[in-house]
Amino acid sequence: MMAGIAQHISAKAQTLRDRINRHDRLYYVEARPVISDEEYDALFRELQDLEKRHPELVTPDSPTQRVGGEPAREFTTVPHRLPMLSLANANSEEEIREFDRRVRSLPGSGAPVYTCEMKFDGVSLSLRYEDSVLAAALTRGDGSRGDDITANARTIRSIPLRLPPGLVPGDGCEVRGEVLMTGKDFGAMNDERREAGLKLFVNPRNATAGTLKLQDPKLVAARPLQFFAYTLLTTESADKKGSHGANLSLLKKLGFRVDDHARSCSSIDEIVSHWREWEGRRETLPFDADGIVVKVDSLAMQKRLGAVARNPRWAIACKFRPRSGRTVLEDISLQVGRMGTVTPVARLEPVFLGGTTITRASLYNADYIAKLDIRIGDTVTVERGGDVIPKVTSAVPPSGRKRSKRFRFPKFCPECSEPLVRPEGEVQSYCENNSCPAQIRGRIEHWASRGAMDIAGLGSANVDRLVEEGLLRDVADIYSLAGRRKRLLELDRWGEKSVDNLLGGIDESREKPFRNVLFALGIRHAGAGVAALLVDAYGSIEGLMRASRDELEQIDQVGPRIAESITSFFALAANRSLVDRLRKAGLNLAESAAEKKKNGIFSGRTFVVTGALSGRSRQEVKTLIENLGGRVASAISAKVDVLVAGTDPGSKLGKARALGVEIWDEGTFNSKITTS
């Protein structure tokens, strides 16, 4: 009898989950609700009450679990199974036609069919499903690794927590797409913030990016985020069968929103016409778009075309012309960056452009101002480059009155009054005083930023205050603040809790891996990607400091400019002293064995080893894989990425082929580890 009651309650819970999921899809994906908000709320409360009385019934994909758990202290970084490549841009009809010519030059390409979709102006996201249940959500990151924001993604109602059974081959898939806010939702959210006296967001994309970085899912759930899917990766797509258009249809069946404006085009003339049409109609879209994306529809042809650098050869972003407007240039000021670069900035009479009020725009350098003959008081044309970054593109002299004098670039730093230097052959001017307050602030802010050492409590306002008070003169001083706690508590509005939180964040940053430290040092031209390459190549700060320019240039993606910047940085006695102080502060200046494994070339991939191998035992191969970050499984399944097959591989070879698992012979395996 009790078993029958338990079965009845379980069935009722599942029925409620299915009904709520159906109504979520009707409301958030298909925009055609069939019940009132009150009726929906009643269903939700009934399921909540049932799960509260019977917690054993709670499942990870239950609608009640979209928001749960404590706020995260930080996001972990996870490798992508396949790189999330960026798209090359086409800004003219000729560049679009050139893309088509390159595709057609592939032997056997025939007359390719293309799929055109809107280029969403949002934030890319990768969703992993295992056994049809959402298992992970990763940001794009650097294309190779992204932040795990699964808890935040679960709050987005247009992301299914469970996929309908039987529609996706195998037991797992990956769905990639864009998180965004519609213009209507963004406006309503800002209206609410205005009424509450909160700071307004600048535009939907910035609001979306900032929301996904929040570490409390409950706050994320309160923001109107939506997800549009544009890529489906399955074991079938790994074999490159079928078409992109068919995958879009399947994504819709799986419960995802896709671009309703997607169109199949069989000629380049159709593509150009479609691009021009939507360039004129983009204001009618419910979301921001800055172009259309053109993709070769055949997955087999996509595989044959492959990728160059970080761009697929089978897709291109056809950009719309930037939005532009006219306003008055009220003044030109100078901004000093953390590397000493002095950039002129236009101070503008406010102009509303593409949903944003523009008051400042970059003027780049002295040559740019001279070329356009831009003068204070002129009417200027302002564009949002990439529909994001404002720039002045032309100047119109005022009518009826004399123009102001030409702008003369100053000879001295506006922050510290030291002489500015413009290296021969360069367009930028620099302040070379490392003690310049603007540079100190910039370097410390960069050091504490989330992509570097991620120190909570060291935002721009606090950095300004600590520099003004003489408590911070460089990044190494951060690690002496614990000994100045009493002095910190004397600062206005700095209570014990805020001081202890700051010191705790500083202490935690000592655990950051070497690659974070190297990026945080802020060496010119050495971003996060270059820092990772250097760590992989040298493993320690000592090894890197000994490297010559010629040695550095042997590293893939490290050219003469980067090599010169690195050697120049470490040639300075002040920088070598800084490194020594950071070492004494307990920071990681070498990559640990665990980090090497975590960041190895096989990181995030699962292998099976089978058959007889001539050069190494199977155990030796397994150990090598694990040391390079990979995982070794015993049996073939859809979750396996690579089968390493020796002679007499047995039935595993056939099963791997059937599931689309990548197959390496011993020679291929050796070449992979030799070039790592």
Q: Which residues have a catalytic role annotated?
A: 119
* Region class of 364: left (phi > 0), else alpha (psi between -120 and 50), else beta: left
Distance (Å, whole) CA 17 – CA 15: 5
Beta-strand pair 89-90/315-319: parallel
CB distance 178 to 124 below 8 Å: yes
CB distance 436 to 418 below 8 Å: yes
Q: Which residues pair with 263 in a beta bridge?
A: 116
CB distance 325 to 351 below 8 Å: yes
With residue 184 as reference, give the H or E element that holds it.
helix 183-195
Q: Which residues, 6+ apart, have CB-to-CB distance to 94 below 8 Å?
A: none
Distance (Å, whole) CA 207 – CA 199: 11
What's the alpha-carbon Rg for the chain, to the nearest Å?
28
For residue 16, give the amino acid letter.
Answer: L
Closest CA to 5 of 66, 53, 65: 53
Distance (Å, whole) CA 562 – CA 425: 17
Q: Please report, to the nearest 10 degrees, the dihedral formed by the alpha carbons of residues 278, 283, 287, 288 taken in order.
A: 80
Q: Cβ atoms within 10 A of the Cβ of 411, count?
A: 10
Contacts 24+ apart (CB under 8 A), 303-308: 303/240, 304/106, 305/103, 305/106, 307/85
Determine the straight-line distance between the first and last CA of the chain, rounded to whole angstroms.
62
Sheet harboring 172-180: ordered strands across?
A: 133-139, 123-130, 172-180, 226-233
CB distance 675 to 635 below 8 Å: no
CA distances from 173 to 160, 281, 380, 421, 632 (A): 13, 35, 50, 54, 20
Structure-block tokens of residue 22 = 């159906």
